[in-house]
Amino acid sequence: MDLELKGKVAVVTGCSVGIGRETAKVLAAEGAQTVVVARRAHLLETLQKEIEGQGGAKPLAVTLDLYDRAAAERLRDAVLGAYGRADILVNNAGGSRPMPWDSPDDAWDESFSINFTAVRKLTQAVLPGMIERRWGRVVCVTGTAEPAQVNAAVAAKAGVHAWAKGLSREIGKHGVTVNCVAPGRVHSEQIDAKLHPTPESQAAFTRANIPMGYFGEAVDVAWTVAFLCSERARYVTGERIHVDGGMHRAV
């Protein structure tokens, strides 16, 4: 199936490692011109080489910190300056924030800043062009909506789910879709180094929670994101698709 992504300009945040990196590689392999975004410039450089080495167009690397209040405008200006448009935005940067229920405000604000506000601001920055051209794809990488404990990222990403649904209803008539992809447990820097740092903890979590019996790979999420970015998903909007080996239970 041809996803018809050739020549589309695709901005992917959080590309230095993990799901974002794999997403950029899959989109580039499908012919998209990628714009790769993260703070660690040296990892974006290796990604540029990797994508070029696989025959893809050299990505534009934009090193920025999404906590920066001007990040959305900076990124929009860099993309429009280089290509004149952004067809696809994958809001992937973010991360889990398990914390005690009585954590101080600044801990909550930090999580909402990266997991909700940066997503909303980047989307608002590129949407006018998508609406004008009557074609656009916004995909937000979120996560479970069934927390086992207080987690400031789950709360922020639940906000993304609700915001994305509302937005999809307003802008569908302009040919722009907005969807969320919710990973369960996928091997990545944050999962393997922080959340489940030992094989034993991964095995115990898997036994209790994952019907498929293993943690996914970042590329498992990337393939679903790429489909949602494509022409083939033109009639899919306002959705949240789980990529979690059957982990979630609520319908």
Ligand X SMILES: NC(=O)c1ccc[n+]([C@@H]2O[C@H](COP(=O)([O-])OP(=O)(O)OC[C@H]3O[C@@H](n4cnc5c(N)ncnc54)[C@H](OP(=O)(O)O)[C@@H]3O)[C@@H](O)[C@H]2O)c1
Which residues of this protein are in contact with ligand X, per CB under 6 A? Answer: 14-20, 38-40, 43, 65-67, 92-96, 114, 141, 143, 153, 183, 185-186, 188-191, 218
Residue 67 vs 214, nearer CB to ligand X: 67
Residue 131 vs 203, nearer CB to ligand X: 203
Contact between 142 and 157 (Cβ < 8 Å): yes
Residue 190 CB, nearest approach to ligand X (Å): 3
Residue 167 CB, nearest approach to ligand X (Å): 18
Residue 78 vs 135, nearer CB to ligand X: 78
What angle is formed at CA 55 by the lines to CA 51 and CA 58, rounded to 5 degrees? 50
Q: Strand pairing partners for 181?
A: 141, 241
- Measured at CB, which residue is nearest to ligand X? 18
Contact between 154 and 101 (Cβ < 8 Å): no
Question: Which residues lie below 8 Å from residue 230, measured CB to CB, with a gap of 6+?
Answer: 3, 4, 5, 30, 137
Residue 40 CB, nearest approach to ligand X (Å): 3
Residue 169 CB, nearest approach to ligand X (Å): 23
Residue 133 CB, nearest approach to ligand X (Å): 26
Residue 14 vs 129, nearer CB to ligand X: 14
Alpha helix positions (H), the chain: 18-29, 41-53, 71-83, 105-112, 118-133, 152-171, 189, 199-209, 218-229
Q: Strand pairing partners for 136?
A: 176
Report d(CA 95, CA 141) in Å as an integer.
10
Contact between 41 and 35 (Cβ < 8 Å): no
Among residues 141, 103, 109, the alpha carbon closest in space to that of 15 is found at 141
Residue 92 vs 123, nearer CB to ligand X: 92
Residue 132 CB, nearest approach to ligand X (Å): 27
Residue 97 vs 137, nearer CB to ligand X: 97
